[in-house]
Amino acid sequence: MGLALRRLLLRLGEDWIFLFLLGISMATISFGLDVSIAKLQRANLWVYDSLDHYLYLQYFSWVLFHVLLMMTSAAVAKYISPQAAGSGIPEIKVTLRGVVLAEFFTLRTFIAKLIGVTCTLAAGSTIFLGKVGPFVHMATILATQLGRLMVKLVGAKENPSRKYELLIAGAAVGVACCFVAPVGGVLFSVETTATHFAVRNYWRGFFAATCAALMFRLLAVINREKETVAILFSTNWRVEFPFDLPEYLSYAILGVVCGCVCCVYLFLHRTTLLFLQNDTRISKFLRNNRIVYAAFVSWVLASVTFPHGFGQYLGGTRLTMKEHLETFFNNITWGVEELSLGANITGQPPNPSYDNNWLQWTHPNMSTVEILACFVVLKFFLLLLANTMIIPAGYFLPVFVYGAGLGRLYGEIMAKIFQNGFISEGIPIKITPAGYALAGAAAYSGAVTHTLSTALLVFELSGQMSHILPVLIAVLIANAISQSYQNSFFDLIVIIKKLPYLPKLKMGQNSAHDICAEDFMVTNLQYLIKGFKYRDIRSLLKSCDLKQFPIVDSEESKILLGSVSRKILTKLLADQLSPERRIQYMLDKTGGNFNSDFTPEKSDEQKIDECEYTDPIYSAQETVVYESEEKHKTHTDTRRRCSAKFKSQYLKMVEEWECHQLNQEVPLEYLTIDPAPYRLLEKETLYQCYDLFNLLGLRMAYVTRLGRLVGVVSLTEIKEGVDGSVKGTFSPRTQEETEETLHLNPLTPGANSS
């Protein structure tokens, strides 16, 4: 059976089957999650409406529902899998650079993420968090697990390049499952997770994302939520004259507004998280009481959005995130329509029994513009507060919805100012606020994430291509402002979590081409010379904590022969000075009478216990930490059985043995040497070094001149070079300074043999 299945997979193509299974699996999970969340939200509103005449009970039920959900989500992230907390996109981004994160792609994390994000999304617009990031994370986990299964079935071997392709396909599927937008999903996943992308991997992402999007829409039809397979948010805007030429300027201004608001948001978000992380007492409290903190934050958010309280002035507090977008993309001009309602609006908050959800944004004492303004201002700070909870949640959908609200407010204001619209060739063209909502969603979310594919995403969501040019204008302007002053949302998370990270080079930064590797490389190196001894290894390990060491042919030429890892050197030295070899030497030296000759009397043993004993092998100068504590204990017990009269003889023998072992030359065939470590030329520019580190996922590279080792460049030096280039504070070294540095900090051997 197994052989037949293997042949079938090889005949059909394992990649096609894998991508198909990945797409339909994630689509089914996404659809099932949406159905479950909808039922939970309806149950909450049913209980809330059942207590219609009991205001305090309504408040209690409203708050209790959200607090319990957030406590459950936080508990899952604390006890089941801490790796499930947060979005997951920043971690995937560094994983694609070659960083290995423990337990990040396990089924345990998948289950915890699924449970946690279900609770988070069931809280709806009150908590105001999304599912894009968690679904990208879950899709990559499923892709990893399916990939391992396919490898076992086919009988192939795992390799890093294949894992990269699986993660890219999984990220695309995750976005496609949320927005039913395969093209925008693929491009967005590439922009947010990869710095360099191989075009040959496009077909994997598009095929898997298309399968996911199609399956999601088919399930909606089967479940009778939709009559046919269609777009997620249907719109009925006029297409013949959607906007006039003067509105291009208006959309450009919207892009400026979105970019500026985004910069403030990212600055406050970074400041808030750094404050919570750096304050010792708060940081300790959050580590030990994250469930209590989640309960407190959810209580604050639920109290502010309570529909019969302050929430009636926010508008849409009873709507889901999807319904928020539906109302913002509605073609009705709210400011005009609310005037025709007149006395139809009661003194109570809007009831969900209305057929038109946009009526949730009306109030007898406030205009829709005022309610939208309250929504934009308050949600800005409420979202910052919600982001501080350590729970499985996505952060793209909230900023997408917020941007749509910001654009809708801008469009409604424009419609009020220009009530007759713009006159074009004698024809009045009314302003469409929904078009500004579309542009606002793309511009603001694109500015927060530093992506341009959000423009394509909104076109796939709404099916509207009439506003493609103004939306692109707004997105480009917002991105230009955001990228000039702030890191992206996901890059900020990477920095705060102190994950390996390379900052982006500033757009149009010409100074990066004027800075060379010799200007920022480290020249004071520690290295090994061919024919080195074990004593050199011990001194080298003691002198620094580097994880990789170069090997050169001689002190004079310093021709780079290769590199060896610290782990290998440590193991080699531990084997050379192992307790077993030392005991065997003592046995051979004493003719096999070690135990009889060195068995102490009781009085002598007490004397030894009272004296301060220092073994030269285990002195403070020793850098080798033996892995087996049991072996060390056995050796210690043996030494304590030695009589005091033989102590000096024992120490002398051990010292002679150690000196003999350390003075032996290390055979290179015993070492696992990398014969071709990554090298840079000293004249390679910062721009070239930056691209190489990003493309190859490097952590370190040696700098050579005609094969001669002259320096080393790591991520730290690249970061300093990029930061200095962006800020304009980096000045390249002159030739004299370079030679002086090499002269003052000569390349010294790992240790001087004695």
In a domain, 733, yes or no: yes
**Residues linked to residue 748 through DSSP beta bridges, in sequence order:** 526
Are 308 and 320 found together in one domain? Answer: yes
Give CA–CA dist 547/380, Å, rounded: 44
Predicted confidence (pLDDT) per residue in 12-57, tens digit? 556 778 888 889 999 999 989 988 998 999 999 999 989 888 889 9
Predicted confidence (pLDDT) per residue in 495-508, tens digit? 898 888 777 776 65
Predicted confidence (pLDDT) per residue in 260-317, tens digit? 999 999 999 999 999 998 888 888 888 889 999 999 999 999 999 998 888 888 877 8
Are 599 and 534 found together in one domain? Answer: no
For 735, the token pair is 């030739």
Angle between helix 2-12 and 132-154 (nearest 10): 120
Q: What is the 8-class DSSP label of residue 233?
A: S
Are 582 and 550 found together in one domain? Answer: no
Are 125 and 269 found together in one domain? Answer: no
Going by their DSSP bridges, the two strands 427-429 and 422-424 should be labelled as antiparallel
Give CA–CA dist 5/399, Å, rounded: 46
Residue among 746, 706, 710, 677 at smallest CA distance from 520: 710
The label of the residue with tokens 């990040």 reads 104
What single string gives the DSSP state of each residue in 263-275?
A: HHHHHHHHHHHHH
The three-state DSSP-derived secondary structure of 575-637 is HHCCHHHHHHHHHHHCCCCHHHHCCCCHHHHHHHHHCCCCCHHHCCCCCCCCCCHHHHHHHHH
Residue 339 has pLDDT above 70, yes or no: no
Output the pLDDT for position 3: 57
Strands, sheet with 679-681, edge to edge from the N-terminal-most edge strand: 679-681, 700-705, 708-714
Q: How many domains in the chain?
A: 4
Element housing 30 (H / E): helix 14-50
SS3 call for 130: strand
SS3 call for 336: helix
For 253, the token pair is 């201004």
Length of the chain: 754
Residue 567 has pLDDT above 80, yes or no: yes
What residue type is 447 in one-letter code?
A: A
Is residue 30 within 8 A of residue 130, CB to CB? The reply is no
Is residue 448 within 8 A of residue 266, CB to CB? The reply is yes
Are 642 and 702 found together in one domain? Answer: no
CA distances to 104, 152, 568 from 563, rounded to whole Å, are 30, 34, 11
Output the pLDDT for position 447: 95
pLDDT band at 236 (very low <50, low <70, confident <90, very high): low
| Last-in-domain residue among 624, 652, 668 | 668
In a domain, 239, yes or no: no
The label of the residue with tokens 């890219």 reads 168
Residue among 620, 222, 299, 546 at smallest CA distance from 214: 222
Element housing 528 (H / E): strand 526-529
pLDDT band at 140 (very low <50, low <70, confident <90, very high): very high
**For the domain that residue 694 is a member of, what is the CATH number?**
3.10.580.10
pLDDT band at 337 (very low <50, low <70, confident <90, very high): low
Residue 675 has pLDDT above 80, yes or no: yes
Output the pLDDT for position 638: 55
| Last-in-domain residue among 635, 668, 701 | 668
The label of the residue with tokens 């390679």 reads 684
Give CA–CA dist 210/214, Å, rounded: 6
User: Which contacts (CB < 8 Å, 24+ apart) does range 713-717 have?
Assistant: 713/517, 713/520, 713/521, 713/522, 713/680, 713/689, 714/522, 715/500, 715/502, 717/520, 717/521, 717/522
Average pLDDT of span 695-717? 86
In a domain, 241, yes or no: no
Are 363 and 258 found together in one domain? Answer: yes
In a domain, 593, yes or no: yes
Of 57-71, 222-236, 634-648, 730-744, which has the strongest mean pLDDT? Answer: 57-71
Predicted confidence (pLDDT) per residue in 381-429, tens digit? 999 999 999 999 999 999 999 999 999 999 999 888 888 777 766 677 7
- Chain-centre distance of CA 192, in angstroms? 9
Instruction: Kindly report the number of other CB atoms within 10 A of residue 511's CB atom.
Output: 19
Give CA–CA dist 83/111, Å, rounded: 11
For 65, the token pair is 């529902």
Is residue 564 within 8 A of residue 583, CB to CB? The reply is no
For 35, the token pair is 């159905």
Is residue 407 within 8 A of residue 254, CB to CB? The reply is yes
CA angle 527, 503, 286 (to 5 degrees): 100
Residue among 404, 429, 399, 431 at smallest CA distance from 417: 431
Are 209 and 327 found together in one domain? Answer: no
Are 643 and 685 found together in one domain? Answer: no
The label of the residue with tokens 């073609």 reads 331
In a domain, 231, yes or no: no
Give CA–CA dist 57/47, Å, rounded: 10
SS3 call for 713: strand
In a domain, 235, yes or no: no
Residue 229 has pLDDT above 50, yes or no: no
| Last-in-domain residue among 643, 668, 693 | 668
Mean model confidence pLDDT for the chain = 79
Predicted confidence (pLDDT) per residue in 241-253, tens digit? 666 677 889 999 9
Average pLDDT of span 208-234? 73
Are 519 and 652 found together in one domain? Answer: no
Residue 136 has pLDDT above 50, yes or no: yes
**For the domain that residue 359 is a member of, what is the CATH number?**
1.10.3080.10
Give CA–CA dist 615/624, Å, rounded: 14
Is residue 103 within 8 A of residue 88, CB to CB? The reply is no
What residue type is 108 in one-letter code?
A: R
From first CA to last CA, the distance across the chain in angstroms is: 66
Query: To the nearest 10°, the Cα dihedral for 194, 198, 199, 201?
Result: -80
Are 632 and 607 found together in one domain? Answer: yes
SS3 content of the chain, % helix, strand, coil (to 5): 65, 5, 30
In a domain, 237, yes or no: no
Average pLDDT of span 162-174? 84
Going by their DSSP bridges, the two strands 548-552 and 560-565 should be labelled as antiparallel
Domain that holds residue 620: 572-668
For 195, the token pair is 């710095």
Are 551 and 695 found together in one domain? Answer: yes
Are 209 and 257 found together in one domain? Answer: no
SS3 call for 106: coil
In a domain, 651, yes or no: yes
